[in-house]
Structure 1
Amino acid sequence: MALRTYFFSGIAALGLGFFMISCNNGKAIKEEPAETTQKGNISITVDESFKPVIEQELKVFDSSFPDATIRVQYKPENQCIEDLFKDSARLILTTRDLSTQEKETMKSNGIKIKSLPVAMDAIAVIVHPNSPDSLMTLGQLRTVLQGTFSRPYTIVFDNQQSGTVRYMMDSLIPGQKLSSKSYAVKDNASVIKYVTENENSLGIVGVSHVYDPEDSDINGVGKFRKGIRVVSLMDDSTGKFYEPYQAYIALKKYPLRRSLYFVSRESWQGLGTGFINFLCSEPGQLIFSKARLVPLRVQLRIREAEIKP
């Protein structure tokens, strides 16, 4: 079958100047500042479902700026937001922007929030290889979450406070409760392990976790992990089923999409700003692309590619 995959166009990153360093047109500064966009110490909190890709981002950033120390904690989405409000983290990376009310609360305390989506992610639905449900409509997935589907599934998530749980409930069953056969395990890796070992299970994970970590073809469409089946979901606008391949996410054909936002309370040109600029730069965006997320701060071109069985 033909499947679209995509490549960088080579055009400079968009949004790189979102927090560009201002020039000093006055006299030379006598004392070197303790923190700049390239040096200093800060703490950030990141949605734990993005740990693999952010670890790669930090690895490259640290090697580029050896005088910079970024202490990172990986937590459920709700705790990331709490850390920002408590000033435990100057910068967070999560799957939602602050609400208008949350921004107003910050503003009333003299804190101006800056935020921007830097990449697009997707939620993957996985089942055991022996499951007959390789295709699902959103209506069928909704009944799975409600516990009324024709086959009884045990539903597994990463964490009760995760952005994954919030997204699925807000998108498919707003105002309702999950099936009584829904369970939170430790993390995305635990979800995958559970599904591989239990035939009547259905897992919900971030899309980057379903790809084979041993697949070395970073420019290809990617191979899914062995031991699981990734469910194809129907796009209601076309009536066609799509797996969560990168191109289908970029073209908005795969339905369960979400953005990764940075949310910053930093009011000066500090190290948080420097890391944001890196995430929005072409090297930072390329790392997102290699992790099978869709980079949002660069221009992309999409071309046809053949998938060989």
Structure 2
Amino acid sequence: MKQIIWSVLGLSLLISCKKESKDGVAEVKEAYDRGTTEMYVESSVYPIVEDINQVFKTYYNNADIKLKMLSQNEILNSVYKDSGRLAVMPKSFTAKELEAFKGRVVPKITPIAKDAVLFITQKNATDTLINYKQVIDIFKGTKKSDKIFVFHDANSNIVDQIKTDARVSELSKNVYYVKTVGEIVSYINKNKNAVGVVGINWMLQPDEKIKEGIKQLRSMLVYNDSLKNYYAPSQSTIADNTYPLIRTINIIDVQGKTGLGTGFASFAASDKGQRIVLKSGLMPVTLPKREINIVE
């Protein structure tokens, strides 16, 4: 009888210590440096998040964060409904938006980079300057224009911000929506009146599909109403805030535990993560330390 009891106890202990998945591989309990989780990434900032994630994995071999590119509205719906608990978006939450989390986990919001919204046209286009207020007037319907503004996804952060600034529920005039950044590039190259509205991240880190296409495009200079001048988007104009259309990229963690979300956010905000941001052409939230070697 005693032998049976000890056998049962030993089997139970073995099962609890080494839980196996369906394919027979031992599951790794999630912590800040290990385990598996999914992260939703707003489409306009996907390249930089992918870069950070790849380097994060080289430091933490047992960490597997699966990235999923979605629109801002899709991410927000998932986060609010608790079906998604880890996200990266170029968005700051208002006090009213944060009220949706009352009674649940308070979201941890970690800023990791600053980027810019670009207006891009054909390289030989005669118009090289643009005023954001006039763009808003076009979408309000108070200003006429022959320009067609091309967006990647009707539910993106960029479209949402323009609708907010224009105080309209939909952008219906002078607008064309496509499914990918590659389609934006292709459409602009074929239509001289087209103006693409994109995050700078895709222009700085183009994938193979758009590398050739963007060589025929240029970024327009945007008017800064406070400084009464036009500025080109660049790392330096993002740093000194002279470029008027700047966004902060945030990691939103509602896991409610010290999981991979905590580890990834800490890494992205660390000196190592900020160096990746700096190298990408975006602006780090915190400038990495520079080591000075004195040669005698």
Q: Which moved more, 1:133-142 or 1:288-297?
A: 133-142
Rounded Cα–Cα distance in structure 2 between residues aligned with 1:144 and 1:300? 44
Q: Which residue of 2 aligns with 1:206?
A: 199
The alpha-carbon distance between structure 1 residues 151 and 100, as it changes in their structure 2 partners (threshold 3 A), is: closer
1:152 to 138, 146, 153: 146
Corresponding position: 1:40 with 2:29: no
SS of 1:131's equivalent in the other structure is coil
Contact 1:124/1:244 (<8 A) preserved: yes
1:57 matched to 2:46? The reply is no
Q: 2:241: which partner in 1?
A: 252
The separation in 2 between residues aligned to 1:87 and 1:116, in whole angstroms, is: 19
Cα distance, 1:244–1:35 mapped onto 2, change above 3 Å: same
Residue of 267, 277, 291 corresponding to 2:256:
267
How far the C-alpha of 1:213 sits from its partner, in A, is: 4.7
The answer for the alignment partner of 1:87 in structure 2 is 82
C-alpha distance in structure 2 between counterparts of 1:101 and 1:136, whole Å: 32
Report the Cα distance in structure 1 between the residues aligned to 2:191 and 2:198, rounded to whole angstroms. Answer: 16
Tell me if structure 1 keeps the 8 A contact 2:32–2:264. yes
Determine the C-alpha separation between the residues in 1 that align with 2:198 and 2:45.
Answer: 11
Q: Which amino acid aligns with 2:187?
A: Y
Could you list the per-position Cα deviations for residues 6-34 of structure 1 after superposition, in whole angstroms to 9, with x for gaps in the alignment? xxxxxxxxxxxxxxxxxxxxxxxxx7982
User: Which piece of structure 1 moves more, 81-90 or 146-155?
Assistant: 146-155
- Equivalent residue of 1:190, what SS? helix
TM-score (norm. length: structure 1)? 0.77
Corresponding residue SS for 1:226: helix
- The CA deviation string for residues 63-83 of structure 1, in whole angstroms up to 9 with x for no partner, is 111101112211000111112
Q: Which amino acid aligns with 2:112?
A: V
Deviation at 1:137, TM superposition (A): 2.4
1:69 to 64, 70, 74: 64
Between 1 and 2, higher relative CO (CA 8 Å, sep ≥ 6) is seen in 1
TM-fit CA distance, 1:150: 6.0
Going from structure 1 to structure 2, the CA distance change for 1:67 and 1:183 (only over 3 Å counts) comes to same
- Structure 1 segments, 4+ long, off by >6 Å, are none
Q: By how many angstroms is 1:115 displaced?
A: 0.9
Q: Does the aligned pair in 1 maintain the 2:50–2:67 contact within 8 Å?
A: no
Q: Which of 152, 156, 161 is 1:162 aligned to?
A: 156
Report the alpha carbon displacement of residue 286 of structure 1 after superposing the two structures with TM. Answer: 1.5
Could you give the per-residue CA deviations for residues 248-295 of structure 1, whole angstroms, max 9, x where no partner exists? 011110111111111111222211100111110112112222222111
**Which residue is 1:240 aligned to?**
229
- Contact 1:46 1:94 (C-alpha < 8 Å) held by counterparts: yes
| C-alpha spacing 1:121/1:284, structure 2 compared with 1 (3 Å) | same
Q: Contact 1:211 / 1:225 at 8 angstroms: preserved in 2?
A: no
- Matching residue's letter, 1:105: A
- Residue 194 (structure 1) aligns with: 187
Matched AA of 1:133: D
Q: State the distance in 2 between where 1:51 and 1:212 align.
A: 10
Q: 1:196 to 1:212 in 2, by over 3 A?
A: farther
Cα distance in 2 between the residues matched to 1:285 and 1:168: 29
Greater fraction helix = 2
Report the alpha carbon displacement of residue 177 of structure 1 after superposing the two structures with TM. Answer: 4.7
Report the Cα offset of residue 144 of structure 1: 4.2
Match of 1:9 in 2: none
Q: Look up the match of 1:285.
A: 274
Letter in 2 for 1:271: L
Structure 1 position 101, deviation (Å):
3.1
Between the aligned residues of both structures, percent identity stands at: 29
User: Letter of the aligned partner of 2:252 in structure 1?
Assistant: V
- The TM-score normalised by the length of structure 2 is 0.80
Once the two structures are superposed, residues 138-166 of structure 1 have per-residue CA deviations (whole angstroms, 9 ceiling, x without a partner) of 33333444466565011110011000111
- 1:233–1:255 CA contact under 8 A, matched in 2: yes
Structure 1 counterpart of 2:241, which letter?
Answer: K
Q: Which residue of 2 aligns with 1:141?
A: 135
Query: Quick one: structure 1 residues 36 and 252, their matched pair in 2 at CA, closer, same or farther if it must change by over 3 Å?
Result: same
- Aligned residue number for residue 10 of structure 1: none
CA distance in 1, matches of 2:238, 2:106: 32
Is residue 45–residue 202 contact of structure 2 (8 Å, CA) maintained in 1?
no
* 1:30-67 CA distance string (max 9 Å, x none): x7982221101111111011111111111111111110
